[in-house]
A and B are shown apart, each in its own frame.
Chain A
Amino acid sequence: MSQALYRKWRPNQWEQVVGQDHIIHTLRNAVKSGKVGHAYLFAGPRGTGKTTTARLLAKAFNCTAEDLATRPCNQCENCETINKGRHLDLIEIDAASNTSVDDVRELREKINFSPSQGAYKVYIIDEVHMLSTAAFNALLKTLEEPPPHAIFILATTEMHKIPATVLSRCQRHEFRRIPVNEIKGYLKTLCEQEKIQVDDEALVTIARQATGSMRDAISLLDQLASTGEKITLGYAQTILGTATNQSVIDLVSAILEQDSAAGLQRLHTALDAGTEPRQFARQVVDYLRGLLLIHLEAIDQLDVPEDTRKMMVTHGSAYPLPGLMLALSEFNRAAADPRSAWQPALTLEIALANAIANLDRSATVVKDDEPAPAPAAPRAMKDNKSQSPAQPTSSTPAHAKVEPPPVAKPAPEVQPVETTTPVEPASRMDEEAPEPAGVRSDGAEAKGHNQVSLMDIDRAWAQIHEIIKRKRNQTAGLLNSCRRLAIKDGALVLGFATEVVRSKMETPENINITRAAIHEVLGITIDIVCIVAGKAGNLPANLDIDRDGMIGTALNMGGRIIDKE
């Protein structure tokens, strides 16, 4: 079994560490001037060189070369044994497997023995974020004042999990992601030495794919090179499951043209060609991020070839910012969504559909003359138009903007005249059909007519009732047995259990007293209509309750309307 390239190519000299100049510089100077710290903490993303640097540093401290500046020399005995991984005083601890306080106590017991081979005992504690809290605390005293021959190097990818008390005892070095160019450059020299033939474009693809991690990049290269043939861009794309740049550009074009059929087609073509859905989503995110940079006028941060850049500028200027942001988060979600098991491409399709639907949600212009590129998407809308010519404008904005939530009624029947066209109150009273928009609409309408809703009356009812009681006790008594049902066309509808009570209430005197009381409290004049509400489920038709709506169903199931807001 050959060693993986990333192990074979682990740097064993300062010069070979890529992209972390700020850290290497500091550490080299420290070695040069013989200033040995007792605790270091290396933090940074995966594959950026933490463990490597830790070993280098350990080697430099134990190196016996005369000239401090040349340490590590890789020639003395100490250097060689460290390179081979069998130096007695380099103790590498996997904190993720030895997390407990006992492991730390064991370390503390042994640390006092002086080094057997080199000048220093170096403890490299890798994945240190996994130590338990107790273990961290047990380490504190040793970490603050270790014996003079001991050095700690802690390495972690998750610095936020390290207690502040540990952080403050260490020299902290933060590793950064390695830029694409530097990764590419390193891979290139590596390929030359390993005699791997590779296209320049393929190297860029690999470097991008690695997202700043050298280990990822070398692993990928290793994987691609294993066949021994030349690595072409096409081969790299097959193995990595990435789509061509062109298919990403085509997809974004389709979004901008609001052509969902074409967009889906391109998506499926790319997936059929062997693109991995998440990978594709990630590429789209990458591209959209470029567009965002253009919007933010940070075009010089774009790290793409010239022709792609031109395309991006065209797309970027055509893409409204809010839509772009939404598309970005949609595709980002598709890339990270763990729910892939049911349908691998589903999240991607949803992201696409949403991106198209919300392309210009900030735009207020009604696009009436928009050529319908997707034959079926507007089909439903067209159907509606042809059925209800009375309202030519109402369906169009819905098409251009966010879709309304699914309506509880079949779409074709929803649209007729009632919802949008204002109707005279008189003509409404004898209307038999239940209102499609359901109960909620009456509150809104009432506001239009009277500037009062049932809720306002309900809130003030105790007060109103008090006033009525003062004027005429009998009326108040009658009102005790009524239910305030609705505000309908400028009139308060009161429901009574029986015809007898209703007729008693419906004398001009009672009505006038009640109206006056409402006027006194709320400052409005309102008509009062008395009806027999009877038993629940037996509601009069002129109450705005959709029989098949939520409330109607609840009533049919034996529910009772107690309060209405």
Chain B
Amino acid sequence: MSWDVLGHEWAAAMLRGHLAGGQARHAYLFTGARGVGRRTLALRFAQAINCTQPPEPGEPCGACRACVQTARMQYTDLAILQPENPGAPVKIDAVRELTRTLVLAPYESSHRVALLLDFQNANTNAQNALLKTLEEAPPKVILLLTAESGEQLLPTIVSRCEVLLLRPLPLARLQDELVSRWQIAPGEAALLAHLASGRVGTALGLHQQPELLQQRQAALDDLAALLPANRIQRFAYADKMTNLQNKTGEERERIRLRLRDTLIQWLGWWRDVMISASGESDALINIDRRAEIETAAAHLPAGAGLAMTRALQDVLEGMDSNLNLRLLLEVLMLDLPVIELSVTDPAL
């Protein structure tokens, strides 16, 4: 088994070089968009560090106990620090606990590896508490951090790590890989590659969970139905989507997430309208809805795509800062232009 990290061959080559040459650093930071493969690469690196029978220097075998357990994130010398729930903050106590255990020698392998996932979720205190350990880690300790971007961390954290900026794959390449590696039909592969914007993890997630694709279709159908609708129908929709009455906390959260997903799909759609309106029609995300998008781009005033993209971004931001869902959606409904998507000739 080799590194096998799609699209990050340069990073794998570099990390392999570090291990093979005995030059591994004490801290690495993997940044990149969600689903791009940060954790996969970090885990693979952890495997390579502690593999008991590497086929070649710097290569994980994937079969020994250390490799298998590392892949499951259950290895004794692999300390993992991640938010308890997705999006929940990492607290200072967790970091302190981690730094305390890192001082101890590894149980069985050559290095103790600490994996700090989504460290952008750590609050300022927690990040500060890691600084000294990160700068001069105890011997035999390697810290691996992942984050969406360096900007979300303290600059002092970033400057202490070797930063690996993981980027999405070019779409054509991802499409080919999806077809050849995972035997996905070319048509679907093209759509997945575009929807994921080149992020392998996201594309595979969509493939393995067809209901996500269905939700996407439903969200875009809703949008298509709302565009020609009048305000009463739109408000009825907003009411339906955000009816929180007599719901438990869990149900409310589900409603929130569903609305969020819907809005993210809409954002992609409007982004496509914006792109299409500026004449660069090759770069669409929702390629299966090209006709719809081009109609909208042709019939709306030039800035509408941009304005709606902005509006949706603001609404999403509002959702994240816990504003009233219904109010947000209703305001969005008022911003939404009225347009008949099926009509081809606007003069009619």
Contacts and interface: CB of A to CB of B under 8 A. Distances in A.
Asked whether A and B interact, the reply is yes
Interface of A: 1-2, 4, 7, 45-47, 51, 94, 96-97, 99, 126-127, 130, 157, 213, 215-216, 219, 222-223, 226-228, 238-241, 260-261, 263-265, 268, 271-272, 274-276, 278-279, 335-336, 338-346, 349-350, 353-354, 356-357, 374-381, 383-384, 387, 398-399, 402-412, 548-550, 552-553, 556-557
Contacts of B167: 241, 271, 274-276
B99 interface: yes
Closest 4 CB pairs of A and B: A403-B303, A260-B278, A261-B279, A94-B132
A272 B282 CA distance: 13
A103 to B, nearest CB: 12
Contacts of A342: 264, 267-268, 316
22 contacts: A1-B142, A96-B128, A96-B129, A127-B128, A213-B159, A261-B279, A268-B283, A339-B313, A341-B33, A349-B271, A353-B274, A353-B306, A357-B306, A374-B278, A377-B302, A379-B277, A402-B303, A403-B306, A403-B307, A410-B339, A412-B346, A550-B334
B151 A408 contact: no
Nearest to B136: A7
Given A381-B301, A557-B232, A260 B280 contact: yes
Interface of B: 10, 13-14, 17-18, 21-27, 33-34, 96, 99, 111, 120, 125, 128-132, 135-136, 139-140, 142, 148-149, 151-152, 155-156, 158-163, 165, 167-168, 170-171, 197, 199, 230-232, 235, 264, 267-268, 271, 274-283, 285, 297-310, 313, 316-317, 334-340, 346-347
A404 B303 contact: yes
Given A353-B274, A548-B231, A411 B280 contact: no
Contacts of B230: 548, 553
Residue among A226, A335, A354, A406 having the largest count of chain B Cβ atoms under 10 Å: A406
A40 B205 CA distance: 54
A46 B152 contact: no
Contacts of B23: 1-2, 226
Contacts of A354: 306
A97 B99 contact: yes
A383 B149 CA distance: 43
Contact of B346 (A376, A383, A399): A383
A148 to B, nearest CB: 29
Contact of A399 (B18, B298, B302, B305): B302
B232 A553 contact: yes
Contacts of B13: 227
A380 B297 contact: yes
Nearest to A278: B149
A113 B168 CA distance: 58
A239 B165 CA distance: 7
A556 B163 CA distance: 59
B285 A343 contact: yes
B337 A412 contact: no
A342 B262 CA distance: 12
A91 to B, nearest CB: 13
B275 A349 contact: yes
A222 B162 contact: yes
A219 B159 contact: yes
Given A353-B278, A402-B303, 13 more contacts: A1-B25, A46-B156, A96-B129, A99-B125, A219-B163, A227-B14, A241-B165, A338-B149, A342-B268, A343-B197, A405-B335, A410-B346, A411-B299
B131 A377 contact: no
A339 B317 contact: yes
Contacts of A241: 165, 167
A336 B151 CA distance: 6
Most chain-B Cβ atoms within 10 A of its Cβ — which of A265, A353, A374, A404?
A353
Nearest to A217: B159
